[in-house]
Amino acid sequence: MERAGREVAISLEEVREKNLMQLRKLNSDLFPVAFPDEYYDFALASGEFTKLAYYNDICVGAIASSVEKKEDGANRMYIMSVGVLPPYRGLGIGGKLLKHVLDLCLKQHIPEIYLHVMTNNEEAIKFYTKFGFEITETLKHNHVNLDHPHVFALTKFIAPSQAKK
C-alpha cells in the first residue's frame, strides 16, 4: 500500500483518570489482547511518558511507556504500546508519539528504550526500525490465546554524546 507520508495537526495530551477510558477504548480497537490493570496503573503514573493523540477532538492514537530500574540501578524506558487507528495511519501520528518519548528520554538521560512486538508485525517493525530500534532478542510470549507465539525485543540505545545535544 502506498503511504500518504504527510503530517496532520495533532495535539498530544496526558492520560489522566478522566480520559483513561479513551486509552482503554483505543487499545481494545487496536490490540488482540486486553492489557491488565497494571498497564493502566503504569500509564497513569508515567506522566509525560504516556500520551493520547487527538486529531481535532477525536482520539486517534496513543503511546504508553514507563520507566524501569535495571538491576544495576540504571533507568530504562519500556514502551508498553503504540497504536494509531487505521484511517489515521501513514500521516506521521505514530512517529510523533514515538518521537515525543524518545525526546524525553534524551532530555532525562535515559540511555535505553525497549519494547516487545510480535515477530509477524512487519509494519510495526519497519516503523520502529525507522526510528533506530534494533532487534535484540526473540522470545516466546505467554498469551495462550494468540496464534503467533514469538515476540522480538527491540531496543534503541541513546549514546551519551546524543543526550548532551
Catalytic residues: 78, 116
Which residues in 3-22 contact ligand ACO (CB under 6 A)?
3, 5
**3-class state of residue 64 by DSSP:** strand
Residue number, 44 or 85, with CB nearest to ligand ACO: 85
Least separation in angstroms between CB 95 and ligand ACO: 3
Number of H helices, E strands in the chain: 5, 7
Residue number, 153 or 163, with CB nearest to ligand ACO: 153
Site string for ligand ACO, 54-93 (x = CB under 6 A): -------------------------x-xxxx----xxxxx
- CB–CB of 59/26 below 8 Å? yes
52 is an interface residue for ligand ACO by CB under 6 A:
no
- HSE-up of 84 (CA within 13 Å, CB side)? 21
**3-class state of residue 55 by DSSP:** strand
**3-class state of residue 96 by DSSP:** helix
Angle at 78 between CA 74 and CA 79, to 5 degrees: 155
134 is an interface residue for ligand ACO by CB under 6 A:
no
CA dihedral of residues 62, 8, 153, 141 (deg, nearest 10): 50
**Interface residue with ligand ACO, options 12, 30, 44, 135 (CB under 6 A):** 30
124 is an interface residue for ligand ACO by CB under 6 A:
yes
* Binding-site ranges for ligand ACO (CB under 6 A): 3, 5, 30, 79, 81-84, 89-95, 115-117, 121, 123-124, 126-127, 130
